[in-house]
Amino acid sequence: GIDPFTEEPTNLIKQKMDELIKHLNQKIVSLKREQQTISEECSANDRLGQDLFAKLAEKVRPSEASKFRTHVDAVGNITSLLLSLSERLAQTESSLETRQQERGALESKRDLLYEQMEEAQRLKSDIERRGVSIAGLLAKNLSADMCADYDYFINMKAKLIADARDLAVRIKGSEEQLSSLSDALVQSDC
Protein backbone atom coordinates (compact mmCIF):
# COMPACT_ATOMS: atom_id res chain seq x y z
CA GLY A 1 0.00 0.00 0.00
CA ILE A 2 0.87 3.66 -0.01
CA ASP A 3 2.69 4.94 3.05
CA PRO A 4 0.55 7.87 4.27
CA PHE A 5 3.71 9.85 5.03
CA THR A 6 5.13 9.75 1.49
CA GLU A 7 4.61 12.55 -1.00
CA GLU A 8 2.52 10.45 -3.42
CA PRO A 9 -0.95 11.32 -2.12
CA THR A 10 -0.01 15.01 -1.85
CA ASN A 11 1.32 14.95 -5.43
CA LEU A 12 -1.87 13.27 -6.61
CA ILE A 13 -4.02 15.90 -4.89
CA LYS A 14 -1.83 18.68 -6.31
CA GLN A 15 -2.11 17.13 -9.79
CA LYS A 16 -5.93 16.95 -9.50
CA MET A 17 -6.06 20.57 -8.29
CA ASP A 18 -3.82 21.66 -11.18
CA GLU A 19 -6.18 19.89 -13.62
CA LEU A 20 -9.17 21.57 -12.00
CA ILE A 21 -7.48 24.99 -12.21
CA LYS A 22 -6.66 24.38 -15.87
CA HIS A 23 -10.27 23.33 -16.52
CA LEU A 24 -11.64 26.42 -14.72
CA ASN A 25 -9.30 28.72 -16.67
CA GLN A 26 -10.53 27.18 -19.94
CA LYS A 27 -14.15 27.55 -18.78
CA ILE A 28 -13.60 31.24 -17.94
CA VAL A 29 -11.98 31.90 -21.34
CA SER A 30 -14.91 30.15 -23.05
CA LEU A 31 -17.51 32.08 -21.02
CA LYS A 32 -15.74 35.38 -21.76
CA ARG A 33 -15.81 34.56 -25.49
CA GLU A 34 -19.54 33.91 -25.15
CA GLN A 35 -19.87 37.19 -23.26
CA GLN A 36 -18.15 39.02 -26.14
CA THR A 37 -20.57 37.42 -28.62
CA ILE A 38 -23.56 38.49 -26.51
CA SER A 39 -22.11 42.01 -26.33
CA GLU A 40 -21.82 42.12 -30.13
CA GLU A 41 -25.40 40.81 -30.48
CA CYS A 42 -26.57 43.53 -28.05
CA SER A 43 -24.87 46.19 -30.17
CA ALA A 44 -26.43 44.83 -33.38
CA ASN A 45 -29.85 44.65 -31.70
CA ASP A 46 -29.49 48.21 -30.38
CA ARG A 47 -28.66 49.39 -33.91
CA LEU A 48 -31.84 47.69 -35.17
CA GLY A 49 -33.83 49.51 -32.47
CA GLN A 50 -32.21 52.84 -33.39
CA ASP A 51 -33.04 52.28 -37.09
CA LEU A 52 -36.66 51.52 -36.21
CA PHE A 53 -36.81 54.62 -34.00
CA ALA A 54 -35.40 56.78 -36.83
CA LYS A 55 -37.94 55.42 -39.34
CA LEU A 56 -40.79 55.91 -36.87
CA ALA A 57 -39.61 59.43 -35.94
CA GLU A 58 -39.90 60.45 -39.61
CA LYS A 59 -43.61 59.55 -39.63
CA VAL A 60 -45.03 60.44 -36.21
CA ARG A 61 -45.15 63.34 -33.76
CA PRO A 62 -42.10 63.71 -31.47
CA SER A 63 -44.24 62.78 -28.43
CA GLU A 64 -45.20 59.46 -30.09
CA ALA A 65 -41.59 58.74 -31.03
CA SER A 66 -40.65 59.52 -27.44
CA LYS A 67 -43.17 56.92 -26.21
CA PHE A 68 -41.38 54.32 -28.33
CA ARG A 69 -37.98 55.19 -26.85
CA THR A 70 -39.40 55.29 -23.30
CA HIS A 71 -40.99 51.87 -23.82
CA VAL A 72 -37.74 50.35 -25.10
CA ASP A 73 -35.86 51.74 -22.09
CA ALA A 74 -38.56 50.46 -19.73
CA VAL A 75 -38.34 46.94 -21.18
CA GLY A 76 -34.58 46.93 -20.59
CA ASN A 77 -34.88 48.36 -17.09
CA ILE A 78 -37.66 46.02 -15.91
CA THR A 79 -35.81 43.00 -17.31
CA SER A 80 -32.66 43.99 -15.41
CA LEU A 81 -34.64 44.71 -12.24
CA LEU A 82 -36.46 41.35 -12.32
CA LEU A 83 -33.21 39.47 -12.90
CA SER A 84 -31.48 41.32 -10.09
CA LEU A 85 -34.34 40.68 -7.67
CA SER A 86 -34.45 37.00 -8.68
CA GLU A 87 -30.73 36.61 -8.03
CA ARG A 88 -30.92 38.39 -4.67
CA LEU A 89 -33.94 36.31 -3.69
CA ALA A 90 -32.13 33.08 -4.60
CA GLN A 91 -29.07 34.16 -2.58
CA THR A 92 -31.23 35.05 0.40
CA GLU A 93 -33.12 31.73 0.21
CA SER A 94 -29.79 29.91 0.03
CA SER A 95 -28.45 31.85 3.01
CA LEU A 96 -31.61 31.05 4.96
CA GLU A 97 -30.95 27.35 4.47
CA THR A 98 -27.35 27.55 5.67
CA ARG A 99 -27.30 30.26 8.36
CA GLN A 100 -29.80 29.61 11.12
CA GLN A 101 -28.47 32.32 13.51
CA GLU A 102 -29.41 35.26 11.27
CA ARG A 103 -32.73 33.74 10.32
CA GLY A 104 -34.91 36.69 11.43
CA ALA A 105 -32.96 39.29 9.47
CA LEU A 106 -32.77 37.04 6.41
CA GLU A 107 -36.52 36.31 6.54
CA SER A 108 -37.21 40.07 6.64
CA LYS A 109 -34.88 40.59 3.68
CA ARG A 110 -36.57 37.74 1.79
CA ASP A 111 -40.06 39.15 2.49
CA LEU A 112 -38.96 42.58 1.27
CA LEU A 113 -37.49 41.04 -1.88
CA TYR A 114 -40.76 39.16 -2.51
CA GLU A 115 -42.66 42.46 -2.18
CA GLN A 116 -40.22 44.16 -4.58
CA MET A 117 -40.57 41.23 -6.97
CA GLU A 118 -44.38 41.51 -6.94
CA GLU A 119 -44.12 45.26 -7.56
CA ALA A 120 -41.65 44.68 -10.41
CA GLN A 121 -44.04 42.08 -11.91
CA ARG A 122 -46.84 44.69 -11.77
CA LEU A 123 -44.54 47.20 -13.48
CA LYS A 124 -43.72 44.60 -16.13
CA SER A 125 -47.45 44.06 -16.77
CA ASP A 126 -47.92 47.84 -17.15
CA ILE A 127 -44.98 47.99 -19.55
CA GLU A 128 -46.40 45.08 -21.57
CA ARG A 129 -49.78 46.89 -21.77
CA ARG A 130 -48.02 50.03 -23.03
CA GLY A 131 -46.16 47.77 -25.47
CA VAL A 132 -49.49 46.89 -27.10
CA SER A 133 -50.16 50.58 -27.85
CA ILE A 134 -46.57 50.97 -29.14
CA ALA A 135 -47.13 47.99 -31.45
CA GLY A 136 -50.33 49.66 -32.67
CA LEU A 137 -48.47 52.91 -33.33
CA LEU A 138 -45.84 50.99 -35.34
CA ALA A 139 -48.49 49.03 -37.26
CA LYS A 140 -50.12 52.31 -38.36
CA ASN A 141 -46.86 53.94 -39.42
CA LEU A 142 -44.39 51.23 -40.50
CA SER A 143 -44.39 48.27 -42.88
CA ALA A 144 -45.21 44.74 -41.73
CA ASP A 145 -41.52 43.84 -42.09
CA MET A 146 -40.52 46.71 -39.83
CA CYS A 147 -43.15 45.64 -37.29
CA ALA A 148 -41.68 42.13 -37.38
CA ASP A 149 -38.23 43.70 -36.88
CA TYR A 150 -39.61 45.52 -33.84
CA ASP A 151 -41.03 42.29 -32.35
CA TYR A 152 -37.65 40.62 -32.88
CA PHE A 153 -35.78 43.63 -31.46
CA ILE A 154 -37.86 43.97 -28.29
CA ASN A 155 -37.80 40.22 -27.55
CA MET A 156 -34.06 40.02 -28.19
CA LYS A 157 -33.46 43.04 -25.95
CA ALA A 158 -34.85 41.20 -22.93
CA LYS A 159 -33.22 37.89 -23.89
CA LEU A 160 -29.77 39.42 -24.40
CA ILE A 161 -29.94 41.25 -21.08
CA ALA A 162 -30.79 37.94 -19.38
CA ASP A 163 -28.06 36.06 -21.27
CA ALA A 164 -25.43 38.70 -20.45
CA ARG A 165 -26.39 38.65 -16.79
CA ASP A 166 -26.31 34.83 -16.65
CA LEU A 167 -22.85 34.78 -18.19
CA ALA A 168 -21.58 37.43 -15.78
CA VAL A 169 -22.84 35.34 -12.84
CA ARG A 170 -21.24 32.17 -14.26
CA ILE A 171 -17.92 33.93 -14.87
CA LYS A 172 -17.94 35.38 -11.36
CA GLY A 173 -18.67 31.92 -9.89
CA SER A 174 -15.89 30.29 -11.89
CA GLU A 175 -13.43 33.04 -10.94
CA GLU A 176 -14.35 32.62 -7.26
CA GLN A 177 -13.82 28.84 -7.53
CA LEU A 178 -10.48 29.44 -9.22
CA SER A 179 -9.42 31.89 -6.53
CA SER A 180 -10.37 29.44 -3.75
CA LEU A 181 -8.47 26.62 -5.46
CA SER A 182 -5.41 28.80 -6.01
CA ASP A 183 -5.47 29.86 -2.34
CA ALA A 184 -5.74 26.20 -1.27
CA LEU A 185 -2.79 25.29 -3.48
CA VAL A 186 -0.66 28.11 -2.08
CA GLN A 187 -1.50 27.06 1.49
CA SER A 188 -0.70 23.40 0.76
CA ASP A 189 2.72 24.40 -0.61
CA CYS A 190 3.67 26.17 2.67
Domain boundaries, the chain: 8-189
Residue (of 119, 156, 150) closest to 55 by Cα position: 150
CA 110/CA 113 separation, integer angstroms: 5
Residue 5 predicted with pLDDT over 70: no
Q: How many CA atoms lie within 13 A of 66 on its CB side?
A: 3
Radius of gyration of the chain (CA): 24
**pLDDT, tens digit, 9 for 90 and up, residues 68-85:** 999 999 999 999 999 999
Give the confidence band of 161 by pLDDT, cuts at 50, 70, 90.
very high
CA 101/CA 10 separation, integer angstroms: 37
The conformation of residue 101, written as its DSSP 8-state character, comes to: T
Which uninterrupted H or E stretch holds 102?
Answer: none
Give the confidence band of 14 by pLDDT, cuts at 50, 70, 90.
confident
- pTM of the entire structure? 0.77
The arithmetic mean of pLDDT across residues 99-116, rounded, is: 86
Q: What's the pLDDT at 6?
A: 53
**pLDDT, tens digit, 9 for 90 and up, residues 41-64:** 999 999 999 999 999 999 999 999
Which residues, including other chains, have CB under 8 Å from residue 190's CB and lie 6 or more apart?
A: none
- For residue 150, count other CB atoms closer than 10 A to its CB: 24
